[in-house]
Amino acid sequence: MRWLLLLPLLALPLACKKPVAKPQAGSVANPDVAKTEATSADGKPKADIREEILVSVNKHIITRRGLNQAVEQQHAALYRQFSGKELDEKLKDAREKTLKGLVDAFLLEDKGTELGSPITDDYVRSNIDGIKKENNFATDADLERALKASLGIGLPEFMKRQKQQSIQQFVLQREVFSKVAVEDNELRAYYEDHKDEYRLPSRFRIRELVLAKGASVEDQANARQQVEAIQAELKAGKPFEDLARLHSTSPSKATGGDLGWMSKGFLRASIEEAAVKLKPDQVSAPIETDKDLYLIQLVALEDAPMKGFADVKAKILEKLQEPKAQNAIEQYLSNLRMRANIRYLVPMEQILKG
């Protein structure tokens, strides 16, 4: 599946369908305001919430709140990927690019409907099951924990985004990429030069023992003393899992701290880096985060095999098509924009100011 994202993974529309206005008698409906109804915990109506509509795209809308949340998510993604001057440059036009991405996403969604997109909920469910299998997650709950840790979203939101992105990819594959030629010898040469990219993810299994640091200086000092005492018990031969059950503040204490098999990229980088440097049964030095202290024990580490050329040929084709197709993609999207009913209900310069 191509992961060419026209809008960032974390910058998807939050308001998607234009509401049907039902003005009260004697009043005039404001076309620039979307009305939603909040509910209380028991499901009863609580209050009307009116949101400012910035842009309408065919039958869809983009609200100020939706755009601001998408921009915040995009900023968070940029901070994870870049730093220094490169980050500053990316942040300059992040709001404009995010808005453009939201508009283009709706246009591609509508085009997918027109083309009879085969992307169904069952298709997305199948992809999710594939992700679970590839990363050794036994249940949806295991995957959701990893998603919340790495992306800050739950499984339903991830599935919604997967569906939107799959529709984008379906449209671009049919309308643009299928018309970009790449010779077979180019594919083979790329594979030989980039074999390390096509290794299956190595995986590891660890146990964790987590202690909350606390807020005060005294609490943090006590937490560090407790870690030292636990290290002494480990050195004396007490099993790590017994100490995790006794002392850990993490829900994993129920399994002796065992997190099961994990692929790289689903835990904090500092924890993963420490884990893969250990030998089986070896315990790390204390790892400190903003809120907790960790001890990590490596249970096992597996290196994964290389995928064969036939297994990755389609992905290499997509990768090599992308740079060749960039101009064609922009032209295609430009044509979609010209034919669409896009209305800026707030001047663009005001939208970009925030």
Please tell me the distance from the alpha carbon of residue 321 to that of residue 179, in angstroms, as a whole number.
9
Percent of the chain at pLDDT exceeding 90? 51
Residue recorded with tokens 């064609």: 328
Domain assignment present for residue 128? The answer is yes
Q: Which of residues 261, 286, 302 is at a domain's end?
A: 302
pLDDT at 6: 38
Residues 270 and 174 in one domain: no
More confident residue, 146 or 39: 146
pLDDT of 21 higher than 50: no
The structure's pTM equals 0.54
pLDDT at 284: 93
pLDDT at 36: 52
Domain assignment present for residue 188? The answer is no
Residues 214 and 345 in one domain: no
Residues 47 and 67 in one domain: yes
Residues 90 and 157 in one domain: yes
pLDDT of 40 higher than 80: no
Residues 219 and 170 in one domain: no
Residues 52 and 110 in one domain: yes
Please tell me the distance from the alpha carbon of residue 337 to that of residue 6, in angstroms, as a whole number.
14
What integer best gives the mean pLDDT of the chain? 83
Q: What is the CATH number of the domain that holds 262?
A: 3.10.50.40
pLDDT at 241: 94
Cα–Cα separations (whole angstroms), residue 132 to 3, 138, 158 = 17, 7, 13
Residues 166 and 66 in one domain: yes
Please tell me the distance from the alpha carbon of residue 137 to that of residue 142, in angstroms, as a whole number.
6
pLDDT at 28: 36
Q: Which of residues 265, 284, 302 is at a domain's end?
A: 302
Residues 295 and 316 in one domain: no
Residues 161 and 234 in one domain: no
How confident is residue 215, by pLDDT bands cut at 50, 70 and 90? confident
Domain assignment present for residue 2? The answer is no
Q: Which residues pair with 56 in a beta bridge?
A: 61, 343
Are 283 and 270 within 8 A, CB to CB?
no
Instruction: Give per-residue pLDDT as tens, 277-331.
Output: 899 999 999 999 888 999 999 999 887 778 889 989 988 988 888 888 888 899 9
Residues 60 and 102 in one domain: yes
Please tell me the distance from the alpha carbon of residue 211 to that of residue 288, in angstroms, as a whole number.
10
Q: Which of residues 285, 302, 319 is at a domain's end?
A: 302
Q: Three-class SS string for the chain?
A: CCCCCCCCCCCCCCCCCCCCCCCCCCCCCCCCEEEEEEECCCCCEEEEEEEEEEEEECCEEEEHHHHHHHHHHHHHHHHHHCCHHHHHHHHHCHHHHHHHHHHHHHHHHHHHHHHCCCCCHHHHHHHHHHHHHHCCCCCHHHHHHHHHHHCCCCHHHHHHHHHHHHHHHHHHHHHCHHHCCCCHHHHHHHHHHCHHHHECCCEEEEEEEEEECCCCHHHHHHHHHHHHHHHHHHHCCCCHHHHHHHHCCCHHHHHCCEEEEEECCCCCHHHHHHHHHCCCCCECCCEECCCEEEEEEEEEEECCCECCHHHHHHHHHHHHHHHHHHHHHHHHHHHHHHHCCEEECCCHHHHHHC
Domain assignment present for residue 225? The answer is yes
**Around 316, how many Cα atoms within 13 Å sit in the side-chain half-sphere?**
23
Q: What is the CATH number of the domain that holds 117?
A: 1.10.4030.10
Residues 52 and 116 in one domain: yes
Domain assignment present for residue 254? The answer is yes
Domain assignment present for residue 12? The answer is no
Residues 38 and 174 in one domain: yes
Domain assignment present for residue 338? The answer is yes
pLDDT of 24 higher than 60: no
Q: Which residues pair with 287 in a beta bridge?
A: 294
- Domain residues for the domain of 138 are 33-179+310-353
Percent of the chain at pLDDT exceeding 70? 86
How confident is residue 23, by pLDDT bands cut at 50, 70 and 90? very low
pLDDT of 25 higher than 50: no
pLDDT at 48: 57
Domain assignment present for residue 262? The answer is yes
Q: How many domains does the chain have?
A: 2
What's CA 146's distance to the chain center, in Å?
A: 10
